[in-house]
Amino acid sequence: MNNCKNLVCLPDSFYKLKSLRRFYLKGCSRLEIFPEILDTMKMLYELDLSGTALKELPSSIGNLIGLVHLSLDDCENLVRLPDSFYKLKSLERFYLKGCLRLEIFPEIMDTMKMLYELDLRGTALKELPSSIGNLIGLVHLSLDDCENLVRLPDSFYKLKSLERFYFKGCSRLEIFPEILDTMKMLYELDLSGTALKELPSSIGNLIGLKDLNMNNCKNVVFLPDSFYKLKSLRRFYLKGCSRLEIFPEILDTMKRLYELDLSGTALKELPSSIGNLIGLKDLNMNNCKNVVFLPDSFYKLKSLRRFYLKGCSRLEIFPEILDTMKSLYELDLSGTALKELPSSIGNLIGLKDLNMNNCKNLVCLPDSFCKLKSLTTFRLHGCLRLEIFPEIIDTMERLYELDLSGTALKELPSSIDNLVGLKYLSLNDCENFVCFLDSFFKLKSLLCLSLCGSSNLIVKNLFTAVGDRPVNQNDPHGFSSLKKLELSESNLENLPTTIKQFPLHELILRNCKRLKSLPELPPSLECLDAHDCTSLEDVSSIKKFFKQPLFCQDKPYRSLVLNFSNCFKLGEKGVGNDIDAEDSTSLEEVSSIKKVFKRAVFCKSLGWLFTNCFQLDQKAASGPETPKLEMPFEHMVTLLKDYHQKAKKELALLHASLEVKSRNGLISKA
């Protein structure tokens, strides 16, 4: 009878349904009274009253002697439960989530062995009965978001079967009771968002505890010295405990704790005994604004894999690493006050990812940097005072990404070519950078070079150096692997003609406000993005892209993407409309060109670029493969398709069909 919104009562003879097993009344929002059960009902094992208007259950509820599942979720008018509740000896699951007016849970006058799940989330309970220990079979107890809950009974420890206990968001709960006896089964305890100031010294009696969550306990000021007795603990979360200033000494080894989150706490330091966390793998101290140093014993964390110190803005010194650490592969020091790294940094022999973005006090890196043989990514973005990058006195094969954007570097070290695996190099906004040394052009693996916001001097230096290098048939300019060049936001008025010597697939020129023309571009180019180049007037050089074969019998199709949106000066003087490629009809929707297409997005005044390009073959133009596209008049997407005539071994005519619809419905065809 779920969602019978007009149902207001049930017959008194309901109890005569002796064979009834399941009774569903969910969402009967006008049902206020449940009838007395005048005789036992052995067969009924599931009763769903969630979302009804019930204010109470009948005192004869105990006659449902076979009831296993009882749901009263979201019964917002429910104010009390009958004292006979304990007579439901077969009950296994009892759900009361969202019973906003339920303030009192009845005393449990006798043991209930079968009840293993009790959900009291979001109720108005202020406390649990002292007889809660009679729920001897209880496994899962949830009190999340019980904002009126102020205390727990001292008999809590008697719940010997309890495995999961949730108190998240109980914002008035200030005291956790002493645990007067061992609790072997409890393995998950969530106290996040409570008003606790401390944990009891007897916390060590939770000998089976694996997960302890105290995130956002903003009143907690200290942890008990007995913390180390939690020998089964695996995860301990203290994120956002903004008044926690001291972490206790770890007086004995803790083998199983592998994740510790201290981010956003008020800690000034870690205990010297931190090395006793011999199983620790993940340590998070992000945004610990008061931490000023790390213990010398840090290197003893032999199992540590990830260490996060992002935003520790008062941390000035990183400790010496007195022994090798094989497992640590991710270290985030971004936003710290470090001035340098220790010379022993090379002992982090497993380190793969080192992040030092926005370390504004960093002035130097150790010469031992090259010993980080496992390093794959190194980020130094925004290190404003870093003027010198150390010589790389030995090859580093695995480092493939290096971000030096926003640093004070004037040049790269002469040994930069020892980064033999480097693929991505960012030098964005390096205002002091003046030149590329010859060794730079020996970076054989470089795929992407980003020089966004760089000066004219450095960009011209790059192209001049390429143009001056001797031509070699196999490697004409030193980095034949370069596929992407980013020059966005530069002040160039013209690109040097030597750019055609680069084997580029992508050229990004976004927001180059002073750029006026494009020279001949690399024939390998597949993507040119000149969005918002508002001074750009001459792009006639790209005509050559439409004169070369785009498809060959023995090669795959190659795409061409051109973006000149916001290039207002292109075409006829003073003519040009804003183009937004993302507003265009999706090319994926044009079924005839799912596999091959060439796309160009222009202002509408660029039609002159394609004069005599389209020689329409009547047969092809009427065939099913001819691409057609319909879109607003100010948008134009050019679709090109090549056909190869195997017999003649020559490129067939280039066929294209355009349909452009204006906003007033007029259609123009090309």
pLDDT digits (tens, 9 = 90+) for 203-257: 999 999 999 999 999 999 999 999 999 999 999 999 999 999 999 999 999 999 9
Q: What is the mean pLDDT of the chain?
A: 83
Q: Check whether 407 has a pLDDT greater than 90.
A: yes
- Which pLDDT value is given to residue 435? 86
Which segments of 55-103 are extended strands (E)?
Answer: 69-71, 93-95
Which segments of 161-302 are extended strands (E)?
Answer: 164-166, 188-190, 211-213, 235-237, 259-261, 282-284
Q: Is 208:183 a contact under the CB 8 Å cutoff? A: yes
Q: Is 129:107 a contact under the CB 8 Å cutoff? A: yes
Q: How many CB atoms lie within 10 A of CB 91?
A: 25
- Which pLDDT value is given to residue 632? 30
Please, which residues have CB within 8 angstroms of residue 517's CB and are 6 or more apart in sequence? 494, 536, 537, 538, 539
Q: Is 492:519 a contact under the CB 8 Å cutoff? A: no
- Which pLDDT value is given to residue 547? 59
Main-chain dihedrals φ then ψ at residue 460, nearest 5 degrees: -65, -35
pLDDT in tens, 285-337: 999 999 999 999 999 999 999 999 999 999 999 999 999 999 999 999 999 99
pLDDT in tens, 541-559: 887 766 555 444 455 555 6
The pairing of beta strand 353-355 with beta strand 164-166? unpaired
The domains of the chain are located at: 539-670
What dihedral do alpha carbons 133, 138, 144, 146 form, nearest 10°?
-40
**Cα 614 to Cα 604: distance, rounded to the nearest angstrom:** 17
Average pLDDT over residues 473-496: 78
Q: Please, which residues bridge with residue 563 across strands?
A: 529, 601
pLDDT in tens, 606-656: 443 433 333 323 333 333 433 333 333 233 333 333 333 333 333 323 333
Average pLDDT over residues 516-542: 89
**Cα 202 to Cα 350: distance, rounded to the nearest angstrom:** 39
542-567 burial, b at 16+ Cβ within 10 Å, e below that, comes to beebbeeebbeeeeeeeebbbbbbbb
pTM: 0.83
3-state secondary structure of 97: coil
> Greatest CA separation found in the chain?
103
3-state secondary structure of 590: coil
Q: Check whether 492 has a pLDDT greater than 90.
A: no
Phi-psi group of 640: left, alpha or beta (phi > 0 → left; psi -120 to 50 → alpha; rest → beta): beta
Burial class (CB in 10 A: 0-12, 13-18, 19+), 452: buried
Please, which residues have CB within 8 angstroms of residue 618's CB and are 6 or more apart in sequence? none
- Scan for tokens 């980064």, then name that residue: 419
Burial class (CB in 10 A: 0-12, 13-18, 19+), 377: middle
Average pLDDT over residues 34-47: 93
Q: Is 414:408 a contact under the CB 8 Å cutoff? A: no
Q: Report which DSSP code applies to 155.
A: G
Main-chain dihedrals φ then ψ at residue 301, nearest 5 degrees: -80, 75
Q: Is 32:55 a contact under the CB 8 Å cutoff? A: yes
- Scan for tokens 């073959």, then name that residue: 617
Q: Is 248:227 a contact under the CB 8 Å cutoff? A: yes
Q: Is 581:600 a contact under the CB 8 Å cutoff? A: no
**Cα 47 to Cα 31: distance, rounded to the nearest angstrom:** 14
3-state secondary structure of 202: helix
Amino acid at 424: Y
